[in-house]
C-alpha cells in the first residue's frame, strides 16, 4: 500500500482522485470526498507520484487516471462526475490513452 505524505499525514496514493494548485499550496481531493490542503507545490507532488498514473490536464491540475471516466472536447469527467477543464495541449497527450 503506497502512500505519500500530505500535511504531516500519510495518504494512500490510490485514494487521491485529483489535485489542484493554489499558488504555493496544493489541494488534494480524495475518493471519500475529503479535501486536504498542503503547503507544497503541485510540481513537488507530481515528481513524487507515478507518472503512468497521474496526468497533468492543465497548468494547475493533476488527475489520477484511474478515476478518469471520459475525455470531452475541452474537459474531462471523473468517475465521481467532477468535470475539469483540460488544456488543448494536454488533451493531445491524454488522447493517446484509452479512457
pLDDT tens for each residue of 18-59: 999 998 899 999 999 999 999 999 999 999 999 889 999 999
Q: What is the pLDDT of residue 96?
A: 67
Contacting residues for 13 by C-beta, under 8 A, at least 6 apart? 2, 3, 4, 49, 50, 53, 64
pTM for the full model? 0.89
Domain ranges in the chain?
A: 3-94
Q: Identify the CATH homologous superfamily for domain 3-94.
A: LytTr DNA-binding domain (2.40.50.1020)
Name the grid cell of 86.
483540460
Amino acid at each position: 500500500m503506497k502512500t505519500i505524505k500530505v500535511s504531516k499525514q500519510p495518504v494512500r496514493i490510490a485514494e487521491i482522485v485529483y489535485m489542484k494548485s493554489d499558488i504555493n499550496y496544493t489541494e488534494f481531493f480524495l475518493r471519500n470526498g475529503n479535501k486536504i490542503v498542503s503547503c507544497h507545490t503541485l510540481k513537488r507532488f507530481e515528481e513524487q507520484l507515478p507518472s503512468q498514473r497521474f496526468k497533468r490536464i492543465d497548468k494547475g491540475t493533476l488527475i489520477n487516471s484511474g478515476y478518469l471516466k471520459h475525455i470531452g472536447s475541452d474537459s474531462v469527467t471523473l468517475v465521481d462526475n467532477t468535470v475539469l477543464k483540460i488544456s488543448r495541449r494536454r488533451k493531445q497527450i491524454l488522447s493517446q490513452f484509452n479512457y
